[in-house]
Structure 1
Amino acid sequence: MSGATGLPGKLTASAWLVADCESGEVLASFAAHRRLPPASTLKMLFADTVLKKFDRTERYKVTDADLADIPAGSSLVGVKPGITYTVEQLWQGVFLRSGNDAVHVLAHMNGGVAKTVAEMQARAEDLQALDTHVVSPDGFDHKGQLSSAYDLTLFARHGLKNADFREYCHTKIANFPAGGKKTFQIQNTDRLLTGAWGVKTYDGLIGVKNGFTSNAGNTFTGAATRGGRTLLATVMHPTSGYNAVYEETSALLDWAFTHGGSAQPVGTLVEPLSEGGARATPTRRTAQAAAGAPGTGSGGPSAWRLLEGASGTVALLAGGVWALRRRGKRGGKHAN
């Protein structure tokens, strides 16, 4: 079946998707609407929601209250009360070190965590990311905080339209304030960008965002440009080693750059409602397919088709498919 030629044979992810960033064409996917804990990849939605609100040169002195509601066990960049930071430095803390401390400072600058969460949920709904339920701005494990490979890809695609978002996610290292005139160096935790921990850097990689919690496992959305074409790949919860999220992303991007130009598109990333996107409407058949129900066929333009490919049973999105609402429960302890 079209779209599946030569797919990587050792994909262990619970869900994945690869798409063309410019056209929005979905080239292949597996369980793309499965609702899973997103970990820090949810910070892409946070940035897409808040980034434009503050000039990057604006300065802000952090207080104890700004850091009081950070979940225990969070990843931190090292924000300290009493130190004044530029907005640019705080966003570097978010994108490079996945710092929940930097997220919470920016959320308090935005009027508080509750207001920011509400705005993120509204942005997700405008993007038609209907699998996403936001509980916290940082992506840390909270009951009911869920997203999907499809939705994370929507967040990356829309975020990359912003020049600052694109710059921050592509930055490898930066100097971060330590008080007075002192600084310390921070490095991006995206291993495809930096080549850390034995991962081979990916040629043409732009970013975008990685994440990990003990509940979510590893998640990653990456974007790369080669030969004038930009592709997006999202991988969630691979079951093999810690580098698997990067290795499987690389394999999917390689496949798409090699075969994606000739493969028939199997779906489309929807456009935001506020930017003229047509409102998506779920059907019972698509909801059953998203839940993994057997016997889902090509009963309409938004139905799913199942393809037996090299990686096992691969769910390919039929033309015009969009994010689906489906209930899911996840729990567990975590360390973002």
Structure 2
Amino acid sequence: MSASKKTAWAVAAAVFVPLVLAAPAAHADGKDSQDKQPKPPLAMSQVGGALLGLPGTQVRLKAGAPVLPKELSARSWIVADAENGQVLASHNAHWPLAPASTLKMLFADTLLPKFPKTQNHLVTVQDLAGMGEGSSLVGVKEKQTYSVHDLWLGVFLRSGNDAVHVLTNMNHGLQQTVRDMNDQAAELQALDTKVVSPDGYDAPG
């Protein structure tokens, strides 16, 4: 894997995961909802070091370093040096959680090289079938022709699950795309990642 790809994914892990996996706030009536929140496993994968396998926040602050902000609410996060991969701090780093739309980064990394941006595609009913209720949509319509470039704009700018589904069908369907994404995750050594749906919509497994 190239150095640039390693850097990009290290930055993505540090920046995007905390934003998407933030835990819900306490109830407005002041009652703490912590007891109802899911708890991390007591022991997790130790890939990257023993501390990463422990629940809770793990950091070894050097003298003079500022303490971590107390208001961090993400269920799982990791901060790493994008140049050398050294983990600076983490919180439930290996806790398996639903990825939501952060999975679209892996989708793009897997499928972007497959189709020239000038290629056109006539959208069919099958292309848009099977989207989860409440999915974010960019407004792709059946019987309309779109360029690959425009479909990717729908993925990146609006997190459009409809655009993801069209590109998925262009890639020979759901099962093939899931296999491709899991293979790409393995190549990137994203060993905690298990793809079930290309758009990141919650699904069993």
Which band: TM-score by shorter chain?
Answer: 0.5 to 0.7
Q: Given the two structures, how large is their TM-score scaled by the length of structure 2?
A: 0.66
Distance 1:95 1:3, change over 3 A: farther
Say if 2:168 is the partner of 1:107.
Answer: yes
Distance of 1:89 and 1:52 partners within structure 2: 15
Distance 1:74 1:34, change over 3 A: same
SS in 1 for 2:155: helix
The match for 1:124 is: 185
The match for 2:122 is: 61
Distance of 1:121 and 1:20 partners within structure 2: 25
The match for 1:42 is: 103
- The match for 2:155 among 65, 83, 94 is 94
The match for 2:85 is: 24
Whether the aligned pair in 2 keeps the contact of 1:3 and 1:27 (CA below 8 Å) is no
Distance of 1:108 and 1:3 partners within structure 2: 51
The match for 2:199 is: 138
Say if 2:144 is the partner of 1:73.
Answer: no
Deviation readout 1:173-229 (Å, 9 max, x if unpaired):
xxxxxxxxxxxxxxxxxxxxxxxxxxxxxxxxxxxxxxxxxxxxxxxxxxxxxxxxx
- Size of the aligned set, in residue pairs, is 144
- The match for 2:76 among 4, 10, 15 is 15
Distance of 2:81 and 2:118 partners within structure 1: 33
The match for 2:94 is: 33
% identity of equivalent residues: 60
Distance 1:3 1:79, change over 3 A: farther
CA RMSD between the two structures: 1.5
Give the Å deviation of 1:3. Answer: 5.8
Distance of 1:138 and 1:100 partners within structure 2: 6
Whether the aligned pair in 2 keeps the contact of 1:46 and 1:120 (CA below 8 Å) is yes
- Judging by fraction of residues, say which structure has more strand: 1
Distance of 1:88 and 1:25 partners within structure 2: 36
Distance of 2:62 and 2:77 partners within structure 1: 14
Distance of 1:118 and 1:112 partners within structure 2: 10
Whether the aligned pair in 2 keeps the contact of 1:15 and 1:34 (CA below 8 Å) is yes
Higher RCO (C-alpha 8 Å, min separation 6): 1
Whether the aligned pair in 2 keeps the contact of 1:113 and 1:136 (CA below 8 Å) is yes
1:81 maps to amino acid: E
Whether the aligned pair in 2 keeps the contact of 1:46 and 1:138 (CA below 8 Å) is yes
The match for 1:266 is: none
Give the Å deviation of 1:74. Answer: 1.0
Give the Å deviation of 1:63. Answer: 0.9
Distance 1:83 1:11, change over 3 A: same
| 1:1-336 correspondence runs (5 A) | 1-2=60-61, 5-6=65-66, 7-144=68-205
Distance of 1:95 and 1:73 partners within structure 2: 18
Distance 1:77 1:104, change over 3 A: same
Give the Å deviation of 1:39. Answer: 0.4
